Structures are given as C-alpha cells and as structure tokens.
C-alpha cells in the first residue's frame, strides 16, 4: 500500500510535475457562520471536518467585515497594523470614501501577505489567488504567478478547475492557492442569513467543497496537499423596524459620514468636533440602540485605533440593529433587486464586535501533517498566518499571532528516514500480528481447559448417574450454559 503510493507519486510527479514544495489550498466562504455545522444541511463539510483538525469557531478581528478579516488571515496582523480597517474607509485628505483598491491594501509597504511571502521564499514556489480580496495587486512591486480578479458571474466549478490547473502547471506549479467564494455573504445581505435562498447556497457550497476534494483525488493531489476551509465572519438578521436613523440628531453640513451597518464613521467639519460627538453621545444614551466612541475611547483589544485611517468618531449599532445606510438601501436600493420590503423582511448584517457569537466564522484544516478528527480550542484569525507558514515550511514574518495556538494541530514530526505513515503502518502491523498470536494462544488454552473440564465432569456425572449419563455428548450438552 505504502509502496504503491510512493510509486504512484513518483510517476505522477514526473508526469504532471506538481510542486515539490509543501502545497496549501486556503478556501474562504464569505460569511459562513460557525454554527452552520449544527444548523444547516452540510454533509460533505461535516465529514471533511472529521478528516482533519478544527475548532468550533475563530475569534476574528474588529471590525468583523470582509476585507479587514481576509487581510488579517493573509498577514497575521491586526487591522491597525495592515491598514485595511473596513470594507471602506474615509480619506480625510480627499474627503472621499475609499473602496476596495490598491491603496486600501497598501497602507504599509512592509506588510507582506502570505502569497507574496511564499514566492519570496524561493525554491520554485508559486502562489495563486482565485478572487481572494487584494490577491491580484502587486506587493512590493511584484505580482504573484497566478491570479483571477473577482467576478461574481464566474462559475464556482470553473474556479476549482482553474485552481487545479495552477497546481498542475508543468513549468510553474502553484504550491499555495487562496480561493474565495462570495457566498453566502452576498445573498444573505439581501435576503437574510436565515432565508431559504441562503440555505440553498450553503448546500451548493457544501457540494463545491466536495467537488474540490474529488478533483484533488482524481488528479492524485489529495494525499499531498493541505486544505484549509474557513470564513471571515458570521452574520445576523436585522428587520427594518430595527433600522436606527442616527443622522437625524445632527445639524446638516457639520460632518461627513461613511461606512455601512453596523458601523458608521463620522468626520466632523472644522469647529464642530465637540458638537457632533456630544450630540451623537447624548442621542445614544437616550436611544439605547447604538454606541458612540471617540477615537481615544476605542477599546485597546480591537487593535483598530493606532492607524491614521481609523475615524475620529465611530457609531456602532447594537447586535440586531442597523443604521442610516440600511434605511437608504431599503428605500432606494431594494428596487434594484426587486424586493418587496415589509416589517418582517430580513437583511443580513455583520461588522459588530468580534465578542458577539453571531459574528464568529468557522475553521478546519486537513493534510498529511495534520491530526485527524482533532478538535482544538477556538483561536484567533491572526494566528492563521503562523499555521500557513508552518504548513508551507517557511519562517513567518513578525505578526500578531501566537504559534502555541496552532501548534497542537500538527502530528509529531519524524526525524528519521521513515515517514510517520511508515512508522504508523509498521506499528499497526506489529500490533495486529501480536493480537493474532495472543488470540491463537488464548483459543488453544481455552480448548484444552474445556476438554479437560468436559472429561472430568462427564466422568463425575457418570459416576453419580451411571444410567442416564453414560454418553459424553449428553454430558457436554449439560455443560454448555456454563461455558457460553
């Protein structure tokens, strides 16, 4: 079995030249909430989880929005360090809201995502980014080998096929691929995370996770690759009756604001700093459905404050509530999707504090170096970078993760010339042979005891009841219940 595998690997590697470096695939399903493993129909993902190590959830970064979390996954850094502090941020020098762009991902040029780091580690390493947020921009003026820009229309099966083709490229085989699926996030924002539409998408994603495994198998990659499945954040449903109008408390033209529920950033115009803050603060105390923070009041543990992009004032809705942007969206934007909005409509929202359980994403990893059916304690999104570096066998750059949090997912490494699999096989074989020998000895001993007992008892019975029990067969029959 082992030899067949080694032989197959040699033949296949020569045939299609997959990377001789460790191979890692990271798949992100946007807004795939941790508790889908209990609440949704995802048979494939559930069985996949048993093939490796997993945690009940991840402790993600603030704000629990898509781009900050994807870049923390990719860098191991907090948003205040990598600078992607929201899905958008307000640039005070231009008075414009900055959306996904080269600038968003280049706050600090020394920040290097895992895909750049992998290629910089030499040894014919190649990275690919399948629609991963920020994956197609150059970092330190260098593009990675493969990248496909975000395209909502692009078929999911084709995404997987393209990833496989990168891994199998004869000249430049990828050994790290980041894969992004925008669902269930996109539709959950429109229809709600508890909607039937989203249930259907989750089934489809479950199926695509299976498709990836199948394709790895038919291409003889399954035993060689490590695969991480994860998400960036969870989601919670908000009804229109829980939309809170915050700007009504302010004097028009005294501020700019930007962002999306549950977070709005306010930038007071010169001279109105105190007024804007005080009015919002007073309103929040009276209203009770949102909180207002001045920059120096942002909790340290958010790791969101020490960045010139982070706003002077932040308004955060309570969990289950939304703000002005959602009021706009429902009145103007819903027409675009032909939605009939009622008080019972649900709209998915995320971005709240990472301490809210509803915001937690899931995590699992499998691969040759990973423990099987092994549950670990929930750990941090910023710890993932160290996990990736360990799998890729590259030295991590300085980051905000803790190696100890991910170390126990790995099987003990064997230093000798025998791989762990070989050692396990030999050990298991030895145990099986020993068990067979012990069983044989036990059976033989039992047979001898039984025979001796039978002779002795027959003799005794014959002695006591010579007329009835002269046949050893009848005597044996009487003994059976005792033996059974």
Contacting positions for ligand NAG (CB under 6 A): 77-78, 81, 136, 138, 141-143, 204, 207, 210-211, 214, 241, 245, 247-248, 275, 278-279, 282, 303, 324, 327-328, 343, 398-400
Shortest CB 411 distance to ligand NAG, Å: 29
Token pair of 3 as six digits: 């030899």
Binding flag, residue 185, Zn ion (CB under 5 A):
yes
Shortest CB 134 distance to ligand NAG, Å: 13
Token pair of 81 as six digits: 């360090």
Binding flag, residue 358, Zn ion (CB under 5 A):
no
Binding flag, residue 66, Zn ion (CB under 5 A):
yes
Binding flag, residue 232, Zn ion (CB under 5 A):
yes
Look at the block and give the residue holding tokens 């995502």: 113
Question: Which residue, 328 or 451, is less far from ligand NAG as judged by CB?
Answer: 328
Size of residue set near Zn ion by CB under 5 A: 5
Shortest CB 67 distance to Zn ion, Å: 8
| Residue span binding Zn ion (CB under 5 A) among the ranges 36-44, 178-186, 355-363, 390-398 | 178-186
Q: Which does 303 bind (CB under 5 to 8 A by kind): Zn ion, ligand NAG, none?
A: ligand NAG
Q: Which does 185 bind (CB under 5 to 8 A by kind): Zn ion, ligand NAG, none?
A: Zn ion
Q: What is the DSSP letter of 395?
A: P
Look at the block and give the residue holding tokens 């005597």: 475
| Residue span binding Zn ion (CB under 5 A) among the ranges 194-202, 225-233, 279-287, 445-453 | 225-233
| Residue span binding Zn ion (CB under 5 A) among the ranges 9-17, 144-152, 163-171, 228-236 | 228-236
Binding flag, residue 30, Zn ion (CB under 5 A):
yes
CA distance 383 to 109: 21
How close are the terminal C-alpha atoms of the chain, in Å?
Answer: 40
| Residue span binding Zn ion (CB under 5 A) among the ranges 26-34, 56-64, 220-228, 450-458 | 26-34
Q: Which does 278 bind (CB under 5 to 8 A by kind): ligand NAG, Zn ion, none?
A: ligand NAG
Question: Which residue, 347 or 469, is less far from ligand NAG as judged by CB?
Answer: 347
294, 313 contact by CB (below 8 A)? yes
Q: 241-274: string of b/e by CB count within 10 Å (b at 16+)?
A: ebbbebbeebeeebbbbbbbbbbbbbbbeeebbe
Q: Which does 30 bind (CB under 5 to 8 A by kind): ligand NAG, Zn ion, none?
A: Zn ion
Q: Which does 419 bind (CB under 5 to 8 A by kind): Zn ion, ligand NAG, none?
A: none
Beta strands in 221-312 (DSSP E): 225-230, 236-238, 255-260, 263-268, 290-294
Q: What is the DSSP letter of 1?
A: -
Q: How many residues does the chain have?
A: 484
User: How is 24-73 classified by DSSP, letter by letter?
Assistant: EEEEEETT-BTTHHHHS--HHHHHHHHTSEEES-EE--SS--HHHHHHHH
369, 24 contact by CB (below 8 A)? no
- Judged by the rule CB under 5 A, the positions of this chain that interact with Zn ion are 30-31, 66, 185, 232
């Amino acid at each position: 079995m082992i030899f067949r595998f080694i032989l197959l690997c040699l033949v296949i590697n020569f045939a299609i030249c997959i990377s001789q470096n460790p191979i890692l695939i990271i798949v992100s399903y946007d807004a795939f909430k941790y508790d889908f493993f209990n609440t949704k129909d995802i048979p494939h993902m559930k069985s996949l989880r048993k093939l490796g190590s997993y945690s009940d959830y991840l402790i993600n970064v603030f704000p629990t929005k898509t781009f900050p979390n994807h870049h923390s996954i990719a860098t191991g850094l907090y948003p205040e360090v990598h600078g992607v502090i929201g899905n958008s941020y307000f640039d005070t020098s231009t008075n414009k809201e900055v959306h996904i762009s080269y600038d968003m991902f280049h706050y600090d040029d020394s920040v290097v995502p895992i895909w750049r780091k992998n290629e910089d580690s030499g040894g014919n390493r190649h990275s690919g980014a399948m629609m991963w947020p920020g994956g197609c921009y150059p970092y330190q003026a260098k593009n990675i080998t493969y990248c496909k820009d975000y395209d909502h229309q692009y078929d999911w099966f084709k995404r997987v096929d393209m990833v496989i083709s990168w891994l199998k490229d004869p000249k430049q085989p990828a050994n790290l691929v980041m894969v992004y699926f925008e669902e269930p996030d996109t539709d959950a924002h429109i229809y709600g995370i508890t909607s039937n539409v989203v249930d259907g998408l989750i089934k489809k994603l479950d199926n695509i996770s299976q498709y990836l495994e199948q394709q790895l198998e038919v291409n003889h990659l399954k035993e060689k690759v490590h695969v991480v499945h994860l998400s960036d954040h969870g989601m919670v449903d908000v009804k229109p009756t829980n939309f809170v109008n915050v700007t009504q408390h302010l004097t028009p033209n005294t501020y700019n604001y930007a962002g999306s529920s549950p977070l709005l950033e306010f930038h007071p115009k010169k001279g109105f700093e105190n007024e804007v803050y005080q009015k919002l603060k007073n309103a929040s105390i009276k209203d009770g459905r949102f909180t207002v923070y001045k920059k120096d009041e942002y909790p340290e543990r958010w790791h969101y404050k020490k960045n010139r992009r982070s706003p002077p004032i932040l308004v955060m809705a309570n969990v289950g509530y939304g703000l002005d942007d959602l009021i706009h969206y429902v009145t103007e934007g819903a027409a675009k999707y032909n939605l009939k909005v009622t008080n019972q409509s649900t709209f998915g929202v995320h971005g709240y504090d990472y301490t809210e359980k509803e915001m937690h994403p899931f995590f699992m990893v499998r691969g040759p170096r990973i423990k099987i059916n092994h549950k670990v304690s929930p750990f941090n999104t910023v710890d993932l970078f160290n996990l990736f570096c360990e799998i890729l066998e590259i030295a991590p750059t300085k980051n905000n993760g803790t190696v100890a949090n991910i170390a126990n997912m790995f099987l003990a490494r064997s230093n000798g010339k025998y791989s762990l699999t070989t050692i396990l096989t030999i050990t298991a074989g030895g145990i099986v042979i020993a068990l067979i020998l012990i069983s044989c000895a036990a059976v033989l001993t039992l047979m001898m005891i039984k025979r001796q007992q039978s002779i002795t008892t027959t003799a005794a019975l014959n002695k006591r009841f010579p007329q009835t029990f002269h046949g050893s067969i009848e005597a044996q029959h009487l003994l059976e219940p005792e033996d059974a």
